Amino acid sequence: MGHLVIKGHPVRFHEDDRGIRYCHIFPVERGDVNVPFVYPGALTANHRHGHQDDYQICIKGSLKFGLCGKSSSEGGKVEWMYTSDRSAKDGALFSPRGIWH
Domain holding 78: CATH number? Answer: 2.60.120
Q: Which amino acid is at 55?
A: Y
Residue 67 located in a structural domain = yes
Residue 101 located in a structural domain = no
Residue 62 belongs to domain spanning: 2-95
Give per-residue burial for 52-85: e unless 16+ CB within 10 Å, then b: ebbbbbbeeeebebebbeeeeeeeeeeeebebee
The model's confidence at residue 73, banded by pLDDT at 50, 70 and 90, is low
pLDDT in tens, 1-54: 454 455 666 777 788 888 887 777 766 666 666 777 788 888 776 778 788 787
User: How far is 17 from 33, CA to CA, in rounded Å?
Assistant: 22
Number of independent structural domains in the chain: 1
Residue 46 located in a structural domain = yes
Position 83 scores a pLDDT of 85
Position 9 scores a pLDDT of 60
Count of other CB atoms within 10 angstroms of residue 34: 19
Who's near 5: CB < 8 A, 6+ residues apart? 11
56 in Cβ contact with 65 (< 8 Å) = yes
Residue 9 located in a structural domain = yes
Position 8 scores a pLDDT of 63
Q: Name the residue among 62, 40, 70, 66 with its Cα closest to residue 54.
A: 66
Position 61 scores a pLDDT of 84
Residue 100 located in a structural domain = no
Position 30 scores a pLDDT of 63
Count of other CB atoms within 10 angstroms of residue 42: 13
Position 74 scores a pLDDT of 66
Residue 39 located in a structural domain = yes
